[in-house]
Amino acid sequence: MEIKFGGDFTVSKMPEDVYAFLIDPNRFCPLLPDYQSMEIVDDKNFIVKLSVGISHIRGTAAVKLSLTEAVKPARALYEGKGDVPGGSATLRAGFTLEPAAGGTKVLWTGQSIIVGRIASLAGGMLEPLAKKNVQKLIDGLQQALA
């Protein structure tokens, strides 16, 4: 099952400050919905543990994330893979930063591919839950960057 997201928002911080926030997993990762913990592997790779659950499938997902593109102060791209209860997921999240009047316009895109038993068992509940969690992340980013 593939789920795609995207949108934009504008914040009052300058692109350099927004970029510095987005590439710092210590600042960015705790905003992820249902965040539990994080282990930094090196300056571009880390493992994030998240609580996941839908219907009767619940547990912890360990997602290996990599900062695969970092173009200061214009772009940050993360790619990741992880095991979730009842399946696995790959994801991609990109942020493009544009100067805007008094701040920065953040254009964001995301894609998640979920395979395994969870995709078939969760059915139509998975996409609305994913969209809700992505919106929580975006809301958190906007607040943190305000």
Of the pLDDT bands very low, low, confident and very high (cuts 50, 70, 90), residue 134 is confident
- Domains of the chain, CATH where assigned: 2-145 (3.30.530.20)
- Helix, strand, or coil here: 42? coil
- The pLDDT value recorded for residue 58 is 75
Alpha carbon 73 to its chain's center: 19
Tally of CB atoms within 10 A around 110 = 19
pLDDT higher than threshold 90 for residue 87: no
Residue 132 · residue 138 · CB < 8 Å: no
Amino acid at position 64, single letter: K
Q: From CA 125, how far away is CA 140, in angstroms rounded?
A: 23
Residue 98 has pLDDT above 80, yes or no: yes
Distance CA 1, CA 11 (A): 33
